[in-house]
A and B are shown apart, each in its own frame.
Chain A
Amino acid sequence: MKKWFFLLAALLLGAVTGGVPFSGVDAAELQPVELLYLNRTGGMLEISTDTGDSGRGADLAAAFRDLKAGAAGKIFLETADTLLLDPSCKELSNELPQYLRPACGVCLGVGDISKTDLWEINEYLSAHEPGVTLLDLRAGQTVIPILRFKLGEMRLVE
Chain B
Amino acid sequence: MEQPTPRPDPAYPGEMNDENIRAIFEGAGDFVPRLLQCGKWTLYAYAIDGLVSGGDISEYVLKPIAEILEAESLQDLYEKALRGAVYNAVADPCKDLDTVALKLVNGFCVVLFPGVGAIAFEVKTGEKRGPSAPEVENTVKGPKDAFVETVRSNTSLVRRHLRSPDLRLYETKVGRRSLTNVTVVSLKGVTNPELVERMKTRLDEIDVDGFLSPAAVEEYVSGSRPTAFPLLQYTERTDTFCQGILEGRVGLIVDGLPLGYLAPVDLGYFMSSGEDRGVDFVSASCIRVLRYCALLLGLLLPGLFIAMATFHQEMLPLPLLRAIIESKESVPFSTAVEVLGLLIAFELLQESGIHLPQAIGQSVSIIGGIVVGTAAVEAKLISPAALIAVSVAGICGFVQPNRDLAEAVRLWRFALAVLGALAGLFGVTVGLIGLVIHLSGLTSLGVAYLAPFSNVKNASILRPRLDRNKQRNPDLNPQDGRNQR
Interface residues of A (CB under 8 A from B): 1, 4, 8, 11-12, 14-15, 20, 22, 24-28, 30, 32, 76, 78-79, 81
Contact = CB atoms under 8 A, between A and B. Distances in A.
B329 A28 contact: yes
B426 A28 contact: no
Interface in B305-326: 309-311, 313-314, 318, 321-322, 324-325
Interface of B: 226, 309-311, 313-314, 318, 321-322, 324-325, 328-329, 331, 334-336, 415, 418-419, 421-424, 426-427
Nearest to A3: B226
Given A22-B422, A22-B427, A27 B328 contact: yes
Contacts of B419: 11
7 contacts: A12-B418, A24-B311, A26-B310, A27-B324, A32-B321, A32-B325, A76-B313
Nearest to A103: B318
A79 B309 CA distance: 14
A17 B318 CA distance: 33
A14 B419 CA distance: 12
B309 to A, nearest CB: 4
Contacts of A1: 226
A12 B328 CA distance: 24
Contact of B313 (A11, A20, A22, A27): A27
Contacts of B418: 8, 11-12
Interface centre among B321, B331, B419 (most CB of A within 10 A): B321
Given A27-B325, A32-B325, 6 more contacts: A11-B422, A20-B422, A26-B309, A26-B310, A26-B335, A79-B318
A8 B430 CA distance: 13
Nearest to A14: B422
Nearest to B306: A24
B311 A22 contact: yes
Given A15-B421, A27-B335, A79-B318, A22 B325 contact: no
B377 to A, nearest CB: 15
A11 B322 CA distance: 31
Given A12-B418, A27-B335, A78-B313, A22 B321 contact: no
B314 A78 contact: yes
A78 to B, nearest CB: 5
A134 to B, nearest CB: 15
A75 to B, nearest CB: 12
Nearest to B415: A8
Interface centre among A14, A26, A81 (most CB of B within 10 A): A26
A28 B427 contact: no
A79 B422 contact: no
